């Protein structure tokens, strides 16, 4: 058997890269019995001559949506317009990354359609501690810092449909010409152009993973008392509350609430309350 990395999975067939040689493999029936699903990014052992995926090696990490494994970082891609930027969606992607302990950054595309909103996003989330990149795939502008951030890493691009993930990959990965789709004028959302998750080489100095977009995303399933931990700007104040089981809602002497409008953005706090109230 030889080891490799799954770089694409479609209809039960997995493309496995083994040191530059690629093999199309099917997973053993044992995986179905064990209810295990091979994921793009998995390190695996295969019988190349038989086209069989035999074993999934232990994962460093795993994202639930999009389903990928063993990534170094995630870049959440949003659009300044067409489709509209929703802060709730952004925060839910960030919560997923925090839950899986995967470094995250934010990229706002389509800066050519709205120059003010991307700056608002950058000011807010850089203050929280996330790198923010503002680009325009239509004009090819703003990609220097983003390309450098991706260099030498395995990065998954996540975000709603129609925000331009594939267009971004077409720019930063020379020679790639992935299919892209327009935003539906009727529903104001992107068409699901990317229908499967796939590794794309970044000029031999890293990989980006193109993923299907989602129109909705549930926050991670976390006990209520642990949810504040997923908000980076809350962490310095956790433990400073009067009550050890403080949910930072209506309790007295709450160190987190005292920071609202100071080190904690009121909108971020409101989205935390929306989640904690579910």
pLDDT tens digits, 152-204: 999 999 999 899 998 999 999 874 444 333 333 333 334 445 567 888 888 66
CA 58/CA 42 separation, integer angstroms: 8
How confident is the model at residue 204, as a pLDDT? Answer: 64
Within 10 angstroms of residue 268's Cβ, the number of other Cβ atoms is: 21
Token pair in block for residue 90: 């952004």
Which sequence spans correspond to the domains of the chain? 2-56, 62-210, 224-276
- Find the range with the poorest average confidence among 62-66, 72-76, 105-109: 62-66
CA 25/CA 2 separation, integer angstroms: 12
158 bridge partner residues: 76
pLDDT tens digits, 99-122: 999 999 999 999 999 999 999 999
Token pair in block for residue 43: 């390190």
How confident is the model at residue 193, as a pLDDT? Answer: 52
Burial class (CB in 10 A: 0-12, 13-18, 19+), 65: middle
CA atoms within 13 A on the CB side of 237: 21
Token pair in block for residue 56: 């999934």
- Find the range with the poorest average confidence among 15-24, 185-194, 228-237, 242-251: 185-194
Please name the fold of domain 62-210. Answer: Rossmann fold (3.40.50)
Distances from the Cα of 158 to the Cαs of 31, 36, 66, 108, 148, in angstroms?
A: 27, 23, 7, 12, 18
Count Cβ neighbours within 10 Å for each residue of 184-209 and write b for 16 or more, e otherwise: eeeeebbeebbeebbbbebeeebbbb
How confident is the model at residue 64, as a pLDDT? Answer: 85
Q: Does domain 224-276 have CATH number 1.10.40.50?
A: yes
Cα dihedral across residues 251, 256, 261, 267: positive or negative: negative
Express as a percent the part of the chain with pLDDT over 70.
90
Q: Is the pLDDT of residue 45 over 50?
A: yes
Cα 195-107-229 angle, rounded to 5 deg? 95
What pTM was computed for the model? 0.88
Q: Does domain 2-56 have CATH number 3.40.50.2300?
A: no
How confident is the model at residue 223, as a pLDDT? Answer: 95
Residues 23 and 16: beta-carbon distance below 8 Å: yes
């Amino acid at each position: 058997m030889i080891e490799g990395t799954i770089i694409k999975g479609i209809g039960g067939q997995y493309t496995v890269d083994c040191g530059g040689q690629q093999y199309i493999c099917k997973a053993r029936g044992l995986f179905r019995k064990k209810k295990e699903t091979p994921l793009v990014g998995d390190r695996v052992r295969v019988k190349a001559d038989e086209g069989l995926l035999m074993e999934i090696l232990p994962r460093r990490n795993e994202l639930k949506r999009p389903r990928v494994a063993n990534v170094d970082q995630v870049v959440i891609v949003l659009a300044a317009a067409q489709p509209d930027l929703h802060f709730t969606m952004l925060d839910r992607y960030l919560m997923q990354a925090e839950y899986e302990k995967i470094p995250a950054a934010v990229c706002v595309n389509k800066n050519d359609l709205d120059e003010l909103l991307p700056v608002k996003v950058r000011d807010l989330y850089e203050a929280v501690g996330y790198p923010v990149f503002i680009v325009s795939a239509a004009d090819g502008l703003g990609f220097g810092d983003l390309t450098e951030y991706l260099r030498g890493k395995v990065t998954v691009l996540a975000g709603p449909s129609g925000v331009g993930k594939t267009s971004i990959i077409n720019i930063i990965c020379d020679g790639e010409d992935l299919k892209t789709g327009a935003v539906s004028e009727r529903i104001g959302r992107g068409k699901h152009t990317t229908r499967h998750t796939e590794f794309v080489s970044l000029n031999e100095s890293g990989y980006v993973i193109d993923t299907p977009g989602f129109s909705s995303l549930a926050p991670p399933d976390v006990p209520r008392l642990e949810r504040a931990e997923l908000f980076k700007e809350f962490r310095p104040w956790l433990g400073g509350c009067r009550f050890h089981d403080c949910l930072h809602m209506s309790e007295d002497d709450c160190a987190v609430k005292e920071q609202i409008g100071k080190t904690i953005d009121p909108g971020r706090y409101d989205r935390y309350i929306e989640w904690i109230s579910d």
